Amino acid sequence: MTPIESATAEIVRPTSSELFLEWFSDPFSDIPLLGVGSEWRGPATTATLQMEVCVDGQPRAIVPVTTRPAEVADQMIFHASVHFPRELGSERIQVRIGTTERMQSVADVSVSEIGNRRAPTPPAKSFLRKNLGRAKRTTKLLAAAILGDAVARHRVGDLATRIQRRLMGKLLRRPGRGPIPHDGFVRHTALTPAMLDEMRQLAKGFAYRPKISIIMPVYNVEARWLEAAVQSVFDQVYDNWELCIADDASTKPETRRALKRLPLDPRIQLVMRPKNGHICAASNSAAGQASGTFVALLDNDDMLAPHALFEIVALLQQHPEADLIYSDEDKIDEQNRRFDPQFKPDWSPEMFLAYNYINHFTCMRRVLFEKVGRFRLGYEGSQDHDLLLRVIGETDRIFHIPKILYHWRAIAESTASSAGVKPFVHLSGRKAVEDHLFRHRIDAELEQPTIAKRLNLPINQFRWPERTAPVAILLRANATLEVLRKSLDALVTAMRHPQDRLIVLIPDQANRDQLRGLVGTYTDRDPRICGMIVPAAGNQAEQWNDCIAELTEPYVLLLDAGLVPSDDRWLTQLVGYATLPGVGAVGPIQRAMDGTLLHAGLVLNLRDGIAPAYAFHGLPEQSVSYYFQAEIHRAVAAMPASALLISRKAFDAVGGFHAEHYGHGLFDVDFGMRLADAGYRSLSIGGVEFRSLIERTADDSNERNDRPSELLAFRKQYQRRADRYYNPNLSARWSFRPEVDGPLPELPSFRTPPKQVLFITHNLNNTEGAPRYLFEIMDGLNRRQSVQSTLYSPMDGKGRRTMDAMQIPVVVDESPVSPRFIDMQWDVGTYRAYQQRTTRLLKQLAPDVVVANTLLSFPIVEAAARLRIPSVWIIHESYSESQLRQLMSPYAKDRCEQAFQLASRVIPASHDTAQLFQRLNVKNNIQVIHNGLDVTPFDREIAALTRAEAATQVPGPMNRQRIIAVGTVIERKGQHLLVEAAKRLRDKRDDFSIYLIGARQGLHYSQYVGHLIAHYGLQDHVFLIPETDQIRAFFRSADLFVCTSHMETFSRAVLEAQAYGLPIVSTPCQGVPEQVFWNQHALQFARHDADGLADRLEQLLSNPALRAQFAQESRSAFENHLNYSEMLDRYETVILSVARHGSRARQVAPRLARVGPTARV
């Protein structure tokens, strides 16, 4: 800080060394702030003093001077401080101190004399240095925990040296592998002994209890793997099984000894083959011992999950007609560590012809197994694929269990480790698929896709003969002249059939004549090519329907200009796949100019479950997709209309595109849904690539530009129907990324009796978004009777009355350390005392789960971990690491970051926020749940209060357009920018009023905003409204909503604005891009850009039609968003999931050292 000399005064004032001014940046928003502060001593006085700060003579802030007695008699200590945003162009700063009647100057300085303060930047550390630092801290913890503090202080140096040497060697060697994302899934979905016992009891009560014969061929397997495989069968909670083992004349003594040691159980059938016949013959020998209704396949070194047979038979209770059942699987290494999960789609015939994605665990009806002739000799290596290809020719009653029931052992000599290890797998697999094509009279040859050649994988794609059917190509000329020319050149070479037609749809726009002239040059050379003028905008689905209705060709290709194929056989290939039985539409994968994948089909219910989106969007060209699903031919929910080949028979069967509800964009997804309902499939063809000639923009994402109103209609029609080709264990945000948790097992004990849950709030202020969300979650779960809630808070507040109304017990524990939950300035002593205090409370309450709300609640997360109580930690703050460093004491930051490892789940409300804490996600326990609101109260308020009535309840003239911004008026929300925009907007128009709702008494920034309004003379246009929970009249009377925040997580105010149907103008701060559809009902401006904000406001204020359209789409976006009930579903799942692991948590929870300044987990 820079000391400023003060002027002499007759009143009590600071000396020249006691008044400081400085420039610094707000840690949340990076707004440049001016800080003024002083603490001085003087004679005791009864006068009420205040400090006033002026910029170029204009008052900007007035704050009271606080006093406290000094240790010297008749003396007092005076204190005053304030900060507010720096104003560009200002020249001098004046500070005055005095009473309201008489103020005297203390300082008048030039802005150039004021110093700057910046947060220190930590030095960069190398990987090795950082890990050695961790080793040193870990050493201190271990020493304190094992030896005790007194001894550890003397021995820690020698111990640290030895551990650091060993750690350095390990870091340089880097053996094995570190934690992987699947570790979190394994941990979160593990079955406890109590759950297995419950399954065992349920299995005994099954009405249908078929015997399952498990077939296991054995040959020279290590004894440990064989014993583990057999033990996994004995561990099954469903007990009506038999294990049929055939040893294929093993030569290893340890294998033969292990077989002799098998348990003397009548359910084990063992045959020792006198001569080696390889795996098919051995499997048939094992099958010869089978007597069960179903047969299941288990390799001699793999393992079954303990509930594998239970899940099979549980499905048969609902579907006794099932002939073939398969499950998900993962791999397991020599250390029994699980990895590489394969979460499979439901039955996809074309994908199964590409490779054996069913694989394990497979269970089929024995009569069917016998009917197709068991395993065929000569197909070793792909014997399962060959068997199943013959089975699917006899039945379509195929069911998929989306749970990992099989662990495939990955050792050096196994196929699980590398497909290339066994070359015969490729040959036998190809032969099996060729046989299938011959049996079903499919006229196609097999070839390897490019990626299969590169990686030596046994994957197939089809090469179709020249087509005999003509195709009508409808090319939408929505591109530049040059791009259209390149598209036409590529299409002309593919028109090999004499009856092919190419119709170019030319939009009726400014360059219409140029486009028509270009098409005319192609028409002159080939009369099969013609142009047609169509409206430039409007109902796209209706245009397609009208065009297709005039065609007679059996196949129609819809194509956007700017997409060009990668080879000249693309149309033959697409038509070939379209001829497969049951196929209604096919499409190529699409890449950007740089080769990045744009899509490989569509996935339903992405964007966190609310909208369809593109599969594998953004995958680099040389990267491999999840289990090669982008590179192969496979069934998908739908294909985009930008490149879509349609069977005319299927198109007519479903009535074409639904133009009434989905005219803008969703007609292609709806078409895919109706095809599926009619028994047709849509295919993504990885062997056919189109490349875009149009350069991608920086903000391209996998989210389509669908209108919220169409998404809402889609939701109402299909009710969030699950995508059968997208596994529920995959992310609802990032396509084909495995989730951190799986669906809850359907066990009665999960909800009865209700779990005792202690919810934690850092305060009881029911006007703040974070406590309000928590109150609503508690109330909803209580009503479901799946939990019994108790609320804990270190501070009292008005929210206690809300809890009383909900009949939820409240524990308020106010103490001298309670303010630390606000200022986050924990030190060792206060933290240790609070841990002891909270431990006693948690022991007394004995909850099953602790749910902590906000980042500030990290001390209770740690206290719960010390008692082995599972915890769910909800994060509403979007702090970067540098912001944490500025906001928290070093000790508090250290403990807060450790809590991420101690919590069972960490739940940020947005992916933007989750990304900020990804560096702390070492346990893969971060899981995003968006906030959701109940629509009922909003509908009730809208019905009870008209806009005209609401306008009479707010200040300002009646005949104006109203703009509101809701939220505490603080720096990180940046409301002063709206005042700056209002100043610019007033230069153009005078018919608006702005309401800043959330001014809190005592906040310097709120005072600054008030002074800024007065300084610009905007008192008649901008109204600063105190913080209140009575805001419905403001929302109901508003025309626009503005969010100027620099930091959010998932703004409640934005959700409320959508519920009231308000157009939105916002910064793209954290969470907001996940809440809104830009340019559909929301406009974006950059933070600090007052001109941009003023321009967006002018755009909407001056265009009533656009404003009305945005209003409709805003309400639709709210209704399509994750609603209150769906939010409760997700929280309920998480809470019940961690509750089931209470006993397991007691076994594996990390041992915590005593709380100290350097203690770490």
* Nearest to 296, CA basis, from 326, 272, 318: 326
Q: Based on the domain organization, do 768 and 881 belong to the same domain?
A: yes
Is the pLDDT confidence value at 5 over 60? Answer: no
| Residue 696: pLDDT band with limits 50, 70, 90 | low
DSSP single-letter state for residue 218: E
For 957-987, b where at least 16 C-beta lie within 10 A, e where not — what string? Answer: eeebbbbbbbbbbbbbbbbbbbbbbbbebbe
Q: Based on the domain organization, do 256 and 337 belong to the same domain?
A: yes
Q: What is the pLDDT of residues 761-801, one digit of tens each?
A: 988 887 677 888 999 999 999 999 989 999 999 988 888 88
Write down the residue that tokens 């009806």 correspond to.
365
Q: Based on the domain organization, do 895 and 945 belong to the same domain?
A: no
What is the arithmetic mean of pLDDT over 874-886? 91
Contact 254, 240 (CB under 8 A): no
Residues 6+ apart with CB under 8 A from 1002: none
In a domain, 463, yes or no: no
Quickly list H helices, 40-192.
Answer: 127-147, 149-173, 181-189
Write down the residue that tokens 């078929």 correspond to.
210
Structure tokens at 179: 């934690």
Give 590's strand partners.
599, 690
| Residue 361: pLDDT band with limits 50, 70, 90 | very high
Tell which of 417, 450, 480 closes a domain: 417
| Residue 127: pLDDT band with limits 50, 70, 90 | very low
* Nearest to 366, CA basis, from 269, 286, 429, 282: 286
| Residue 24: pLDDT band with limits 50, 70, 90 | confident
Structure tokens at 255: 């294998």
- Please count the CA atoms within 13 angstroms of the CA of 132 that sit on its side-chain side: 13
Distances (CA, A) of 396 to 146, 353, 393, 435, 539: 62, 15, 8, 19, 39
| Residue 423: pLDDT band with limits 50, 70, 90 | confident
pLDDT the model gives residue 479? 82
pLDDT the model gives residue 702? 54
Is the pLDDT confidence value at 1159 over 70? Answer: no
Structure tokens at 92: 């001098």
Distance CA 592, CA 596 (A): 5
For the purposes of burial, counting CB atoms within 10 Å of the CB of 649, is it exposed (0-12), middle (13-18) or buried (19 or more)?
A: exposed
| Residue 805: pLDDT band with limits 50, 70, 90 | confident
CATH number reported for the structural domain that contains residue 813 in this entry: 3.40.50.2000
> How many domains does the structure of the chain reveal?
5
Interior angle at CA 634, CA 633 and CA 640, nearest 5: 95
**Run of H or E including 1026:** strand 1022-1026
Give 294's strand partners.
212, 365
Say whether 1015 sits in a helix, a strand or coil.
helix
| Residue 154: pLDDT band with limits 50, 70, 90 | very low
Distance CA 404, CA 743 (A): 12
Give 996's strand partners.
965, 1024
Q: Based on the domain organization, do 1117 and 1000 belong to the same domain?
A: yes
Q: What is the pLDDT of residues 369-393, one digit of tens each?
A: 999 999 999 999 899 999 999 999 9
Is the pLDDT confidence value at 119 over 70? Answer: no
Structure tokens at 728: 């529920």
In a domain, 405, yes or no: yes
Is the pLDDT confidence value at 1152 over 80? Answer: no
Whole-prediction pTM value? Answer: 0.85
CATH number reported for the structural domain that contains residue 11 in this entry: 2.60.40.10
| Residue 1144: pLDDT band with limits 50, 70, 90 | very low
Write down the residue that tokens 């905008």 correspond to.
537
pLDDT the model gives residue 1? 38
pLDDT the model gives residue 1001? 83
pLDDT the model gives residue 170? 39
* Nearest to 553, CA basis, from 498, 492, 479: 498
pLDDT the model gives residue 938? 94
Choice among 288-297, 545-554, 668-677, 1142-1151 with the minimum mean pLDDT: 1142-1151
Say whether 587 sits in a helix, a strand or coil.
strand
3-state secondary structure 855-903: HHHHHHHHHHHHCCCCEEEEECCCCCHHHHHHHCCHHHHHHHHHHHHHC
Distance CA 414, CA 419 (A): 8
Tell which of 417, 444, 460 closes a domain: 417
Contact 555, 580 (CB under 8 A): no
pLDDT the model gives residue 131? 44
Is the pLDDT confidence value at 1151 over 50? Answer: no
Say whether 850 sits in a helix, a strand or coil.
strand
Residues 6+ apart with CB under 8 A from 1049: 875, 876, 877, 878, 908, 909, 910, 912, 913, 1070, 1071
Distance CA 821, CA 973 (A): 21
Q: Based on the domain organization, do 1029 and 1093 belong to the same domain?
A: yes
In a domain, 732, yes or no: no
Q: Based on the domain organization, do 927 and 963 belong to the same domain?
A: no
Q: Based on the domain organization, do 954 and 920 belong to the same domain?
A: no
Q: Structural domain of residue 371, as residue ranges? A: 202-417
* Nearest to 516, CA basis, from 499, 528, 529: 529
Say whether 277 sits in a helix, a strand or coil.
coil
* CA atoms 436, 442, 448, 452: torsion sign: negative
Q: Based on the domain organization, do 858 and 961 belong to the same domain?
A: no
Q: What is the pLDDT of residues 474-496, one digit of tens each?
A: 999 888 888 999 999 989 988 98
Distance CA 976, CA 1013 (A): 9
* CA atoms 559, 561, 562, 566: torsion sign: positive
In a domain, 246, yes or no: yes
pLDDT the model gives residue 417? 56
pLDDT the model gives residue 200? 96
Distance CA 490, CA 952 (A): 64
* CA atoms 1059, 1064, 1069, 1075: torsion sign: positive
Beta strands in 65-102 (DSSP E): 66-69, 75-85, 92-98
Percent helix, strand, coil in the chain (nearest 5)?
Answer: 40, 25, 40
Tell which of 932, 951, 982 closes a domain: 932
Q: Based on the domain organization, do 1112 and 1052 belong to the same domain?
A: yes
Q: What is the pLDDT of residues 1050-1096, one digit of tens each?
A: 999 999 999 999 999 999 999 999 999 999 999 999 988 999 999 99
Quickly list H helices, 995-1148.
Answer: 1004-1015, 1032-1037, 1052-1059, 1072-1075, 1090-1101, 1104-1120, 1124-1140, 1142-1148
Say whether 939 sits in a helix, a strand or coil.
helix
Higher pLDDT, 537 or 176: 537
Distances (CA, A) of 149 to 135, 159, 651, 865: 18, 14, 78, 22
CB count within 10 Å of CB 1067 equals 25
Give 69's strand partners.
76
Choice among 507-516, 641-650, 1082-1091, 1121-1130 with the minimum mean pLDDT: 507-516
Say whether 817 sits in a helix, a strand or coil.
coil
Contact 585, 668 (CB under 8 A): no
In a domain, 177, yes or no: no
**Run of H or E including 1084:** strand 1082-1084
What mean pLDDT value characterizes the chain? 87
pLDDT the model gives residue 1148? 37
- Following DSSP, what letter does each residue of 1134-1159 receive, concatenated? HHHHHHHTHHHHHHHPPPPPPP-TT-
In the chain, what is the straight-line distance between the N-terminal and C-terminal CA atoms, in Å? 38
For the purposes of burial, counting CB atoms within 10 Å of the CB of 709, is it exposed (0-12), middle (13-18) or buried (19 or more)?
A: buried
What is the arithmetic mean of pLDDT over 730-754? 86
**Run of H or E including 115:** strand 115-116
CATH number reported for the structural domain that contains residue 328 in this entry: 3.90.550.10
Q: Which long-range contacts (CB under 8 A, 24 or more apart) does 283-288 make?
A: 283/215, 283/217, 283/246, 283/374, 283/375, 283/383, 284/374, 284/375, 285/217, 285/246, 285/248, 286/215, 286/216, 286/217, 286/244, 286/245, 286/246, 287/213, 287/215, 287/244, 287/369, 287/374, 287/375, 288/244
pLDDT the model gives residue 1029? 79
CB count within 10 Å of CB 483 equals 18
* Nearest to 282, CA basis, from 335, 215, 237: 215
Distance CA 835, CA 1149 (A): 17
Q: What is the pLDDT of residues 1010-1026, one digit of tens each?
A: 989 998 999 999 999 99
Q: What is the pLDDT of residues 832-856, one digit of tens each?
A: 999 999 999 999 999 999 999 999 9
Say whether 773 sits in a helix, a strand or coil.
helix
For the purposes of burial, counting CB atoms within 10 Å of the CB of 844, is it exposed (0-12), middle (13-18) or buried (19 or more)?
A: exposed
Q: Based on the domain organization, do 974 and 925 belong to the same domain?
A: no
In a domain, 909, yes or no: yes
pLDDT the model gives residue 178? 58
Dihedral Cα 385, 386, 389, 394, nearest 10 deg: -130
In a domain, 430, yes or no: no
pLDDT the model gives residue 102? 84
DSSP single-letter state for residue 501: E
Is the pLDDT confidence value at 758 over 90? Answer: yes
Q: Based on the domain organization, do 972 and 874 belong to the same domain?
A: no
* Nearest to 1, CA basis, from 53, 36, 29: 36
In a domain, 171, yes or no: no
Q: What is the pLDDT of residues 131-143, one digit of tens each?
A: 444 444 544 544 4
Q: Based on the domain organization, do 893 and 1029 belong to the same domain?
A: no
